[in-house]
Amino acid sequence: MENLFVNISGALRGWFTGMGLPPMAVEAIMALVFLVAILAFVLLNVVYLVYLERKLSAYMQQRLGPNRVGPRGLFQTLLDVLKLFGKEDIIPNAADRWVFRLAAILVMVPAIMAFAVVPFGQGMIAVDLNIGIFYFVAVSSTATIAFLMAGWGSNNKWALLGGMRTVAQMVSYELPMVLSLLGVVMLAGSLRISDIMAAQKTVWFVVLQPVAFLIYLVASTAELNRQPFDLPEGEQELTAGPFTEYSGMRYALFFLAEYTNMIAVSAIAATLFLGGPQGPWLPSWLWFVIKVYVMIGIYMWFRWTFPRIRMDHLLAFNWKFLVPLSLANVLVTGIGLEIYKWFQTIRW
């Protein structure tokens, strides 16, 4: 079981090589195979994450949640997706048409690209880059652009306000997120995902870097624009924020991107802090899915635990607390490592 997917990919690679294709073409086809597998995994999970989220929210509020479509409402989101396919695509006359259109397409790009460095199991990273985690940082930093385009292109006041808020929020919380990952990099001594995984063989980094983990958790919730940091689309004040004018499948793409990003961010958290796809008894890829779902569960739990915070509080919390704290965490990690090094040099 452990090597199931690794063996499948090995067999495919052997098969393509056997067909007499040049090595470069084999690599290209294999990248495509990985990508299709990742997309299938992500889309399937998103559909059931929406269902899970609705069920969880319902139970937390002592409701039943979706329970009409299929057994226990299991087909609810599946049919919701089909319904969205049949919905009219409305582009307001006043909108900046190309910016409006492109925003919905571009929002998926960083979400999908982030999965290139996600280790789904032992030896199951699509592209094990030397700069692994830094690549993730780079890709996720471009996520703001699509929101800005959506907000601006709609030519709608709610959308523009929502778009500007999204960008201000995502840009601000990117800093503590990026700085919190530094502690992990210092401990692992590498940016490569497989090295970071190997460095957690004995102790998970959540134990050595608890503060960084908490900072990451808070900052990534804000990066995902999820409650309690959902000001950009706070429905009571901004209708639907940057997505106000979107409808049908174009709206669904934003929705999809939000959940895809949630999986990506949870996967990175599981990799960097929870030991990645490692664990006893069960196959590594199953461990990874379990850890990702634990992280997702935490995000959903947040949603019904904290009320939405005010914009000025949100930014003050980031700049006056999280950023200084994450810098202090880097400093303390550095001092701790120096003391550890010093201890090792002493001959008792």
Residue closer to another protein, measured from CB, 7 or 27: 27
DSSP, collapsed to helix, strand or coil, labels residue 149 as helix
Nearest-approach distance from CB 72 to another protein, in angstroms:
28
Nearest-approach distance from CB 253 to another protein, in angstroms:
6
Nearest-approach distance from CB 174 to another protein, in angstroms:
7
Nearest-approach distance from CB 52 to another protein, in angstroms:
22
Residue closer to another protein, measured from CB, 30 or 74: 30
Residue closer to another protein, measured from CB, 37 or 282: 37
Nearest-approach distance from CB 115 to another protein, in angstroms:
8
Nearest-approach distance from CB 59 to another protein, in angstroms:
32
Residue 177 CA to chain centroid, in angstroms? 12
Residue 140 CA to chain centroid, in angstroms? 9
Token duo for residue 13: 């690679």
Residue closer to another protein, measured from CB, 44 or 105: 105
Among 180, 161, 287, 275, residue whose Cα is nearest residue 223: 180
- Which residues, 6+ apart, have CB-to-CB distance to 152 below 8 Å? 96, 99, 159, 160, 163
Residue closer to another protein, measured from CB, 178 or 269: 178
> What distance separates the 2 farthest-apart alpha carbons in the chain?
78
Residue closer to another protein, measured from CB, 35 or 52: 35
The torsion angles phi and psi of 324, rounded to 5 degrees, stand at -60, -40
Residue closer to another protein, measured from CB, 58 or 168: 168
Nearest-approach distance from CB 108 to another protein, in angstroms:
5
Please state, in angstroms and rounded to a whole number, the distance separating the CA atoms of residues 203 and 258.
Answer: 31
Please state, in angstroms and rounded to a whole number, the distance separating the CA atoms of residues 259 and 296.
Answer: 10
Please state, in angstroms and rounded to a whole number, the distance separating the CA atoms of residues 119 and 121.
Answer: 5
- Which residues, 6+ apart, have CB-to-CB distance to 299 below 8 Å? 221, 224, 226, 262, 266
